[in-house]
Structure 1
Amino acid sequence: MSEQPAPPETDPTWWQTFRAAPRVLRWSAYAVIGIATFVVLLLVVTVAFALRPVPATTGEVEVPGLGAEVEVIRDTHGIAQVYADTDADLLRAQGYVHAQERFFEMDVRRHVTSGRLSELFGEDGLETDKVIRTMGWRRVAEQELAILDTETREALASYAEGVNAYIQSHGPTEMAVEYTLLAATGLSYEPEPWTPVDSLAWLKAMAWDLRGNMTDEVDRVLASLDHTPEEVARLYPEYPYDRHPPIVGSGGVVDGVFEQNASGNATRNPRRPAYSRDMVDALEGVRDAVARVPDLMGRGDGIGSNSWVVDGEHSATGAPLLANDPHLGVSMPGIWLQMGLHCRQITADCTLDSSGFTFSGVPGVIIGHNADIAWGFTNLGPDVTDLYLEKVEGETWLQDDEAQPLDIRTETIEVRGAEDFELQIRETAHGPLISDVSQEFSSVGANAPTDEPDPTGRGNGYGVALQWTALEPGTTADAILALNRASNWDEFRAAAADFEVPAQNLVYADREGHIGYQAPGRIPIRKSGNDGRMPAEGWVSANDWTGEFVPFDGLPSVLDPEEGFVVTANQAVIGPDYPYFLTGDWDRGYRSTRIRQVLEEEGELSVDEMTRLQLDSTNPMAATLVPYLLDVEDLPSGYYRDGQELLADWDFSQPADSAAAAYYNVVWSNLLRLTFHDELREDIRPDGGDRWFGVVEQLLEDPAGPWWDDVDTEETESRDDVLRQAMVDARDEMTRRQARDPGQWRWGHLHRLDLRSSTLGESGIAPVERLLNRDGYEVGGGSSIVDATAWDASLGYEVTSAPSMRMVVSLADLDRSRYINLTGVSGHPASSHYADQTELWVAGDYLPWAFSRAAVEEAGEDSMTLVPDPDDD
Structure 2
Amino acid sequence: MPANTTAPSGTTGSAGGKTGRKKGRRARLIVIVLVLALVAGIGYGAFWSVSTVRASYPQTTGSIKLDGLDGNVDVKRDSYGIPQLYADSDADLFRAQGFVQAQDRFWEMDVRRHMTAGRLSEMFGSGQVETDSFLRTLGWREVAQKEYDNVLSADTKKNLQAYADGVNAYLKGRDGKDISVEYAALGLTNDYKPAEWTPVDSVAWLKAMAWDLRGNMQEEIDRSLMTSRLDAKQIEDLYPEYPYKTHDPIVGQGAISPVTGKFDPDATPSTSIGSNTMAGATEGLNTQLSSLSDTLDQIPALLGPNGSGIGSNSWVVSGDYTTTGQPLLANDPHLAPQLPSLWYQMGLHCREITAQCQYDTAGYTFSGMPGVIIGHNQDIAWGFTNLGADVTDLFLEKVSGDGYVYDGKVKPFTVREETIKVAGGKSRHITVRETNNGPLVSDRSSEMEKVGQKAPVGNSAPDRADGYAVALKWTALEPGKSMDAVFELNRAKDFPSFRKAAEHFEVPSQNLIYADTKGHIGYQAPGKIPVRLQGNGTMPSPGWSSAYGWKDKPVPFDELPYEYDPKRGYIVTANQPVIDEKYPHLLTKDWGYGARSQRINDLIESKIKDGGKISTEDMQKMQMDNFSAIAPKLVPELLKINVSDKSVREAQKLLEGWDFNQESDSAAAAYFNAVWRNILKLAFGDKLPKELRVEGECLNVPRADTSGPVDEQHKLVRECGRRDADTAQPDGGDRWYQVVANLMDDDDKNSDWWKSPKSGRDEATENRDELFARAMEDARWELTAKLGKDITTWSWGRLHQLTLKNQTLGTEGPGLLQRVLNRGPWNLGGGEAAVNATGWNAAGGYDVVWVPSMRMVVNVGDWDKSRWINLTGASGHAFSAHYTDQTDKWVNGELLDWSFGTNAVAKSTTDTLTLKP
Quick one: which of 558, 562, 586 aligns to 1:557? 562
Contact 2:318–2:326 (CA under 8 A) maintained in structure 1: yes
SS at 1:337's partner residue?
strand
Gaps of 5+ in 2: 1-40, 695-727
Greater mean deviation of Cα atoms: 279-288 or 790-799: 279-288
Alpha carbons of structure 1 residues 89 and 223: separation in structure 2 relative to 1, 3 Å: same
Q: Point out 4+ residue stretches in structure 1 off by more than 6 angstroms.
A: 38-41, 454-459
2:36 alignment partner in structure 1: none
Within 2, Cα distance between the matches of 1:159 and 1:596?
40
Within 2, Cα distance between the matches of 1:201 and 1:788?
29
For residues 635-663 of structure 1, give each alpha carbon's deviation from its aligned partner in whole angstroms, at most 9, with x where no partner exists: 23221111111111100001111111011
Within 1, Cα distance between the matches of 2:464 and 2:477?
33
**Equivalent residues in 2 for 1:529-540, closer than 5 Å:** 529-540=534-545
1:685 matches 2:758: no
**Equivalent residues in 2 for 1:649-728, closer than 5 Å:** 649-680=657-688, 681-682=692-693, 685-700=729-744, 701-711=747-757, 715=764, 717-728=766-777
Quick one: which of 875, 882, 893 aligns to 1:833? 882
Within 2, Cα distance between the matches of 1:116 and 1:278?
35
Contact 1:332–1:756 (CA under 8 A) maintained in structure 2: yes
Within 1, Cα distance between the matches of 2:161 and 2:749?
63
Gaps of 5+ in 1: 1-37, 869-873
**Equivalent residues in 2 for 1:54-93, closer than 5 Å:** 54-93=57-96
SS at 2:766's partner residue?
coil
Greater mean deviation of Cα atoms: 321-330 or 38-47: 38-47
1:189 alignment partner in structure 2: 192
Within 1, Cα distance between the matches of 2:82 and 2:182?
23
Greater mean deviation of Cα atoms: 295-304 or 80-89: 295-304
Within 2, Cα distance between the matches of 1:321 and 1:410?
52
Greater mean deviation of Cα atoms: 727-736 or 705-714: 705-714
Alpha carbons of structure 1 residues 410 and 655: separation in structure 2 relative to 1, 3 Å: same
Contact 1:144–1:474 (CA under 8 A) maintained in structure 2: yes
Contact 1:69–1:867 (CA under 8 A) maintained in structure 2: yes
**Equivalent residues in 2 for 1:159-238, closer than 5 Å:** 159-185=163-189, 187-238=190-241
For residues 330-353 of structure 1, give each alpha carbon's deviation from its aligned partner in whole angstroms, at most 9, with x where no partner exists: 111110010000000111100100
What amino acid is aligned across from residue 163 of structure 2 in structure 1?
Answer: Y
Within 1, Cα distance between the matches of 2:154 and 2:396?
40
What amino acid is aligned across from residue 612 of structure 1 in structure 2?
Answer: K
1:647 alignment partner in structure 2: 655
Alpha carbons of structure 1 residues 144 and 670: separation in structure 2 relative to 1, 3 Å: same
Contact 2:419–2:427 (CA under 8 A) maintained in structure 1: yes
**Equivalent residues in 2 for 1:86-485, closer than 5 Å:** 86-146=89-149, 147-185=151-189, 187-254=190-257, 255-264=260-269, 265-275=271-281, 278-298=284-304, 301-439=308-446, 442=449, 444-449=451-456, 451-453=457-459, 461-485=467-491
Alpha carbons of structure 1 residues 611 and 457: separation in structure 2 relative to 1, 3 Å: closer
Contact 2:176–2:187 (CA under 8 A) maintained in structure 1: no
What amino acid is aligned across from residue 53 of structure 1 in structure 2?
Answer: S
SS at 1:313's partner residue?
helix
1:619 matches 2:628: yes
Contact 1:299–1:330 (CA under 8 A) maintained in structure 2: no
What amino acid is aligned across from residue 394 of structure 2 in structure 1?
Answer: L
Quick one: which of 848, 856, 861 aligns to 2:897? 848
Deviation at 1:41, TM superposition (A): 7.2
Deviation at 1:410, TM superposition (A): 1.0
Deviation at 1:587, TM superposition (A): 0.2
Contact 1:273–1:537 (CA under 8 A) maintained in structure 2: no
Greater mean deviation of Cα atoms: 202-211 or 285-294: 285-294
SS at 1:524's partner residue?
coil
Quick one: which of 575, 579, 583 aligns to 1:574? 579
| TM-align CA RMSD | 1.9
Within 1, Cα distance between the matches of 2:229 and 2:835?
35
TM-score by length of 1: 0.93
Deviation at 1:738, TM superposition (A): 1.1
Deviation at 1:716, TM superposition (A): 5.3
TM-score by length of 2: 0.88
Contact 1:667–1:730 (CA under 8 A) maintained in structure 2: yes
What amino acid is aligned across from residue 734 of structure 2 in structure 1?
Answer: D
Within 2, Cα distance between the matches of 1:178 and 1:390?
44
2:496 alignment partner in structure 1: 490
2:619 alignment partner in structure 1: 610
Alpha carbons of structure 1 residues 738 and 60: separation in structure 2 relative to 1, 3 Å: same
Deviation at 1:267, TM superposition (A): 3.2
Alpha carbons of structure 1 residues 789 and 312: separation in structure 2 relative to 1, 3 Å: same
- Larger RCO (CA within 8 A; separation ≥ 6): 2
Contact 2:291–2:448 (CA under 8 A) maintained in structure 1: no
Greater mean deviation of Cα atoms: 440-449 or 371-380: 440-449
For residues 522-561 of structure 1, give each alpha carbon's deviation from its aligned partner in whole angstroms, at most 9, with x where no partner exists: 001110x221111111112111101111111110001000
Contact 2:451–2:463 (CA under 8 A) maintained in structure 1: no
Alpha carbons of structure 1 residues 723 and 831: separation in structure 2 relative to 1, 3 Å: same
Contact 2:449–2:463 (CA under 8 A) maintained in structure 1: no
Deviation at 1:715, TM superposition (A): 4.6
For residues 355-413 of structure 1, give each alpha carbon's deviation from its aligned partner in whole angstroms, at most 9, with x where no partner exists: 00010010000000000000000000011000001111221111222111111111100
Contact 1:442–1:461 (CA under 8 A) maintained in structure 2: no
1:782 matches 2:839: no
1:518 alignment partner in structure 2: 524
For residues 122-157 of structure 1, give each alpha carbon's deviation from its aligned partner in whole angstroms, at most 9, with x where no partner exists: 122111101100000000000000211111000000
Within 2, Cα distance between the matches of 1:686 and 1:672?
6
Contact 1:446–1:459 (CA under 8 A) maintained in structure 2: no
What amino acid is aligned across from residue 172 of structure 1 in structure 2?
Answer: G
Within 2, Cα distance between the matches of 1:61 and 1:785?
47
Deviation at 1:674, TM superposition (A): 1.2
Within 2, Cα distance between the matches of 1:102 and 1:691?
37
Greater mean deviation of Cα atoms: 638-647 or 278-287: 278-287
SS at 1:284's partner residue?
helix
Greater Rg by CA: 1
1:19 alignment partner in structure 2: none
**Equivalent residues in 2 for 1:497-516, closer than 5 Å:** 497-516=503-522
Deviation at 1:610, TM superposition (A): 0.4
What amino acid is aligned across from residue 683 of structure 2 in structure 1?
Answer: T
Contact 1:393–1:443 (CA under 8 A) maintained in structure 2: no
Within 1, Cα distance between the matches of 2:210 and 2:191?
32
What amino acid is aligned across from residue 280 of structure 1 in structure 2?
Answer: N
What amino acid is aligned across from residue 619 of structure 2 in structure 1?
Answer: M
Alpha carbons of structure 1 residues 276 and 850: separation in structure 2 relative to 1, 3 Å: closer
What amino acid is aligned across from residue 621 of structure 1 in structure 2?
Answer: I
Deviation at 1:275, TM superposition (A): 5.0
Contact 1:392–1:443 (CA under 8 A) maintained in structure 2: no
Within 1, Cα distance between the matches of 2:356 and 2:463?
69
SS at 1:463's partner residue?
strand
Contact 1:679–1:711 (CA under 8 A) maintained in structure 2: no
Alpha carbons of structure 1 residues 850 and 182: separation in structure 2 relative to 1, 3 Å: same
Contact 2:452–2:464 (CA under 8 A) maintained in structure 1: no
Contact 1:433–1:442 (CA under 8 A) maintained in structure 2: no
What amino acid is aligned across from residue 317 of structure 2 in structure 1?
Answer: V
Contact 1:298–1:331 (CA under 8 A) maintained in structure 2: no
Contact 2:281–2:541 (CA under 8 A) maintained in structure 1: no
Deviation at 1:44, TM superposition (A): 7.4
Deviation at 1:766, TM superposition (A): 0.8
